Amino acid sequence: MDKSKPQGRIEPYHHPAAGWGALKYVAINLIKEKVAGGNYRTLFKQNQPDGFDCPGCAWPDRKHSSTFEFCENGVKAVAAESTTKRVTPAFFEAHTIEALMKQTDYELEQHGRLTDPVVYDALTDKYKPISWNGAFALIAEELKKLSSPHQAAFYTSGRASNEAAFLYQLFVRMFGTNNFPDCSNMCHEATSRGLPMTVGIGKGTVTLDDFELADTILIFGQNPATNHPRMLGELRECSRRGATIVSINPLRERGLERFASPQHPIEMLTLSSTKIASTFIRPKVGGDFALLKGVAKRVLELDDEACERGVERVLDVDFIDAHTHGFDAFAADLRAESWPTLEAESGVPREDIEALARIYANGRRVIATWGMGLTQHKNSVATVQMLSNLMMMRGNIGREGAGLCPVRGHSNVQGNRTVGIEEKPTQEFLDRLGKVFDFEPPREHGYDVVETIEAMIEGHVKVFIGLGGNFAIATPDTPRTFDALRSCDLTVHIATKLNRSHLVHGRHALILPTLGRTEIDEQGGVAQGVTVEDSMSMVHISYGMNVPASKNLLSEVAIVANIAHATIGSDKVDWLGMANDYSRVRDAIEQTIEGFEDYNARIAHPGGFHLRVASRERDWKTGTGKANFVVNAIEHDTPIARAKKLHGERVMVLMTTRSHDQYNTTIYALDDRYRGVFGQRRVVFINRADLDMLGLKAGEWVDLTTVWDDGVDRRADSFLLVEYDIPRGCIGAYYPETNPLVPLSSVGDVCNTPTSKSIPVLLHRSAPPALAA
Ligand SMILES: Nc1nc2c(c(=O)[nH]1)N[C@H]1C(S)=C(S)[C@@H](COP(=O)(O)OP(=O)(O)OC[C@H]3O[C@@H](n4cnc5c(=O)[nH]c(N)nc54)[C@H](O)[C@@H]3O)O[C@H]1N2
Ligand SMILES: Nc1nc2c(c(=O)[nH]1)N[C@H]1C(S)=C(S)[C@@H](COP(=O)(O)OP(=O)(O)OC[C@H]3O[C@@H](n4cnc5c(=O)[nH]c(N)nc54)[C@H](O)[C@@H]3O)O[C@H]1N2
Ligand SMILES: [Mo]
């Protein structure tokens, strides 16, 4: 699909992250998106106490911050939403779906904002206008036709507000199912499922204030310069204070080396920069579990040595005694693990593992952050739990300046889960919801993302509704997922911009255009705010300030309320009344969910409020009432090991990541400048020694195929080989172009997350695209 012509360049980047390079790109973006003059001011209201929450990432904002928190990629996200380009009914009249399918995802994005609700017309193979009421009636009719409510699946992408997400889950549960696939299933699910077993809750335990006190910060599998640029500002301060910052990542990501802060004119004018990470530990892809186990083993050894020498213990014995369960079994397992195994499985030499253990043990206040590099593997839940174990060994949880810091993706993905977007709800949550709204909620667990696609393939799911996102492209196994979606009776997308998912549709299909977070949302003559929860559990209100992209847009809250009203009626819930006044939705959230007492009053404070995280206060909501050390073994019989048995060392482990110029499936532009890639996306990063071993050269082109055991041919063609400093046996390429390579059945244990960062693949030399037929 996204075959960019081989006109790009590969050129190493020698400047610090952010800096003048970022400013230049901001200017280019504003011009390219044709952002209307009046909307520039929006950019300066981003993440301000009286502005809107950036629709970019979930990194929190400094409370009461009065300086403009500059962020290149936040600007891109806002500019993409504030574009003056429009996708109107005339646009749809001019293009068949067949024709639009030939455009790249980048081209689809460039058409601009959706203006009117449209319905698919099979006779012409085009979308044509439909009234809002007509759209709601069609949805209600198709949902009511189903023989069971479980034949419908309701997707959420993490941009939806708490208000929209809460109404959505209430409607869906009243309709009768827990089928809530969401982007989180592909993202931090290993965190959300792994941490409750160790510390009782699947959220981080730190706030920004802790970053001011930490002396050691360990960053696992994360590329903040691109994906959480405002985090760099925080790291810069930490670094200048003398904190030790370590990046644990197969790649030496540029943004973690040096950073020039656009907030600090001196750095910009003198072309100086702040060094961020002092140490780079480079596991092979998927090697973190063994690495962490090695670090934990070494910490135990250091403690033994301290005991022998009669000096201060390395373990926090008081914490372990008072607050934890299962330490002895955990320690015994560590002692039994062999160093050669740990080295081989992590890809990290023993001296580096020991160095990391020393840094960790020297830290008095340690924060561990992590991203997709830890969560998209087969053993991700075990890895997150091992990280939690390690932090517990020295009492680094629930202490000032220390703690667990999963860094989420979408700006409200954490809030969505908090307010009930959860296919495996607890019985207590359902009891409460049923009591407040006087109904009997469905008790059985629903489908997650992978299960939804499987259920479509088996004919069990016939209606798909997406509250945002790009389900067809963000998910694995693209051709099979396309078939699955096309087998549906109805597909509905509530969206701001055109994307591939709208083109891969069911027998009936609707696109329902909605307001973005930057836009004024007026209901009942009053501008409404919506609330979101960031990665550090701060809940705050966000007011849009741009004039909506079209007069015919409805808010997400209004769309959800109308679908509910048309489908199940308003006997029990005054859907339309709630949509007319969002504070009533917040009252309903307050009645249902713990921690939202005085919701409407508390969001009136600048910066909002912190939603209580029990583990932060060393209140352990686990079965044992303590924080649990969890023992997991290193697995040897993995799909990658099996692939290597078949094909030997030619099997490469593929990790799929984001480039600098994309927001998930939304491609803003074709550069990844910190990694030195310009004007193209179909590249494979590969080690020099592996090129030699495979008899290939940088600059040649390859096709990729997956080694999997189900007989399905999975391939992605035409990638340029780029020699890169990446561990042997590992390659990197961009998502979503590589999703056809991810088998639907390749998922993380327990969390069922597609293993987007460990796919066994083979490389096959191919002709340059221009010469290929
Ligand atoms: N501008 C922008 N911002 C975004 C997004 C975006 O697409 N664009 N997406 C948002 C979303 S939804 C999310 S989830 C986050 C994602 O933010 P990140 O978590 O940073 O996601 P990725 O770019 O997928 O890659 C993460 C890093 O993991 C490393 N890695 C790969 N495999 C391994 C491994 O086995 N071990 C270790 N230790 N590291 C590994 C890669 O080298 C890369 O540096 O960003 C959010 N913010
Ligand atoms: N191979 C591979 N696959 C991956 C990943 C990976 O690293 N590698 N990462 C995974 C991760 S972490 C995630 S989170 C998922 C992301 O999966 P999704 O969340 O489904 O994908 P996005 O690309 O973020 O969705 C973009 C679309 O959302 C719509 N949109 C934007 N803003 C709004 C809004 O305010 N309201 C509404 N209603 N719609 C809006 C627009 O139409 C836009 O086209 O992808 C996952 N897939
Ligand atoms: Mo994500």
DSSP string covering 567-601, please?
HH-SSS--HHHHHH-HHHHHHHHHHHSTT-TTHHH
H/E run at residue 17: strand 17-18
**What pLDDT was estimated at residue 757?**
98
Is residue 513 within 6 Å of ligand 2 at its C-beta? Answer: no
H/E run at residue 169: helix 162-175
Side chain identity at 661, as an amino acid letter? D
Is residue 82 within 6 Å of ligand 2 at its C-beta? Answer: no
Which distant-in-sequence residues (6+ apart) come within 8 Å of 610 by Cβ? 207, 536, 537, 538, 539
- Distance of CA 556 from the midpoint of ligand 1 (Å): 28
Is residue 198 within 6 Å of ligand 2 at its C-beta? Answer: no
Q: What are the CA-CA distances from residue 648 to residues 176, 319, 638, 652, 761 (Å)?
A: 50, 46, 14, 10, 11
> Can you tell me which residue has the tokens 């301290």?
306
Distance CA 608, CA 742 (A): 40
Side chain identity at 593, as an amino acid letter? I
Which distant-in-sequence residues (6+ apart) come within 8 Å of 672 by Cβ? 659, 660, 661, 678, 681, 734
Is residue 77 within 6 Å of ligand 2 at its C-beta? Answer: no
- Distance of CA 253 from the midpoint of ligand 3 (Å): 19
DSSP 8-state symbol, 667 = E
**What pLDDT was estimated at residue 76?**
79
Side chain identity at 361, as an amino acid letter? A
Is residue 138 within 6 Å of ligand 2 at its C-beta? Answer: no
- Distance of CA 371 from the midpoint of ligand 3 (Å): 9
> Can you tell me which residue has the tokens 């020039």?
260
User: Residue 510 corresponds to which tokens in the numbers above?
Assistant: 């609707």
- Distance of CA 115 from the midpoint of ligand 1 (Å): 32
Q: What is the residue extent of each domain of the chain? A: 9-82, 86-185+412-581, 190-406, 639-772
Max CA separation in the chain (angstroms):
83
Alpha helix (H) residue ranges in 347-477: 350-362, 372-375, 380-393, 413-418, 427-437, 449-457, 471-474
E strand intervals along 291-412: 324-325, 366-370, 403-406
Is residue 183 within 6 Å of ligand 2 at its C-beta? Answer: yes
Dihedral Cα 228, 234, 239, 241, nearest 10 deg: -170
Class of the 190-406 domain? Answer: alpha beta
Distance CA 677, CA 670 (A): 8
Among candidates 438, 506, 520, which has minimal Cα distance to 122?
Answer: 506
Q: Which residues have C-beta atoms less than 6 Å from ligand 1?
A: 56-57, 73, 187, 220-223, 226-228, 248-251, 253, 283, 285-286, 288, 371-373, 409-410, 655, 657-658, 662-664, 757
Alpha helix (H) residue ranges in 394-491: 413-418, 427-437, 449-457, 471-474, 478-486
Spell 674-705 as b/e; 16+ CB within 10 A means b.
bbbbbebbbbbbbbeebbeebebeeebbbbbb
User: Residue 386 corresponds to which tokens in the numbers above?
Assistant: 């091992």
Per the DSSP assignment, residues forming a β-bridge with 281 are 248
Dihedral Cα 425, 427, 429, 435, nearest 10 deg: 130
Distance CA 287, CA 727 (A): 11
Among candidates 491, 458, 463, which has minimal Cα distance to 148?
Answer: 463
- Distance of CA 703 from the midpoint of ligand 3 (Å): 27
H/E run at residue 274: strand 274-275
* Secondary structure in 3-state letters for 53-122: CCCCECCCCCCCCCCCCCCHHHHHHHHHHHCCCEECHHHHHHCCHHHHHCCCHHHHHHCCEECCCEEEEC
Among candidates 97, 34, 77, which has minimal Cα distance to 511?
Answer: 97
Which residue is closest in CA terms to ligand 2's atom 18? 469
**Cα angle 297-633-308, degrees, rounded to a multiple of 5:** 20
Distance CA 123, CA 141 (A): 21
Which atom of ligand 2 approaches the CA of 475 most closely?
A: 47
User: Residue 349 corresponds to which tokens in the numbers above?
Assistant: 């030499």
Which atom of ligand 2 approaches the CA of 109 most closely?
A: 44
- The SS3 assignment for 528 reads coil
- The SS3 assignment for 161 reads coil
Spell 573-610 as b/e; 16+ CB within 10 A means b.
bebeebbbebeebbebbbebbebbeebbebbeeebbbb
Q: What ligand is nearest to the CA atom of residue 725?
A: 1
Among candidates 757, 658, 752, 766, which has minimal Cα distance to 721?
Answer: 766
Second CATH level (architecture) for the domain 86-185+412-581: 3-Layer(aba) Sandwich (3.40)
Which residue is closest in CA terms to ligand 1's atom 3? 227
The residue to mutate among 26, 57, 666, having the most atoms of ligand 1 within 8 angstroms of its beta carbon, is 57
86-185+412-581 with 639-772: one CATH topology? Answer: no
- The SS3 assignment for 496 reads coil
Pair 73, 56: CB distance under 8 Å: yes
The residue to mutate among 73, 222, 410, having the most atoms of ligand 1 within 8 angstroms of its beta carbon, is 222
Second CATH level (architecture) for the domain 639-772: Beta Barrel (2.40)
Among candidates 185, 214, 381, which has minimal Cα distance to 288?
Answer: 381
Pair 320, 393: CB distance under 8 Å: yes
Which atom of ligand 2 approaches the CA of 409 most closely?
A: 14
Count of residues in the chain: 773
Q: What ligand is nearest to the CA atom of residue 227?
A: 1
- Distance of CA 184 from the midpoint of ligand 2 (Å): 10
Distance CA 679, CA 722 (A): 14
- Distance of CA 474 from the midpoint of ligand 2 (Å): 6
10-residue block means of pLDDT along the chain (773 residues)? Answer: 60 74 64 59 56 78 52 79 94 98 94 97 98 98 98 97 98 98 98 98 96 97 92 89 95 83 66 80 98 98 97 98 98 98 98 97 98 98 98 98 97 96 97 98 98 98 98 98 98 97 98 95 92 94 91 98 98 97 97 96 90 97 98 96 97 97 92 93 98 98 97 97 97 97 98 98 93 53
Distance CA 513, CA 740 (A): 28
> Can you tell me which residue has the tokens 């009492």?
395
Which residue is closest in CA terms to ligand 1's atom 32? 373
Distance CA 733, CA 731 (A): 7
**How close are the terminal C-alpha atoms of the chain, in Å?**
15
Is residue 111 within 6 Å of ligand 2 at its C-beta? Answer: no
Which atom of ligand 1 approaches the CA of 76 most closely?
A: 1
User: Residue 608 corresponds to which tokens in the numbers above?
Assistant: 């909002």
**What pLDDT was estimated at residue 229?**
87
Distance CA 568, CA 585 (A): 18
- Distance of CA 106 from the midpoint of ligand 1 (Å): 20
Is residue 159 within 6 Å of ligand 2 at its C-beta? Answer: yes
**What pLDDT was estimated at residue 259?**
72
Is residue 656 within 6 Å of ligand 2 at its C-beta? Answer: yes
Q: What are the CA-CA distances from residue 379 to residues 335, 341, 376 (Å)?
A: 21, 16, 8
Is residue 296 within 6 Å of ligand 2 at its C-beta? Answer: no
Which residue is closest in CA terms to ligand 2's atom 37? 468
- Distance of CA 280 from the midpoint of ligand 1 (Å): 17
Which residue is closest in CA terms to ligand 1's atom 36? 373
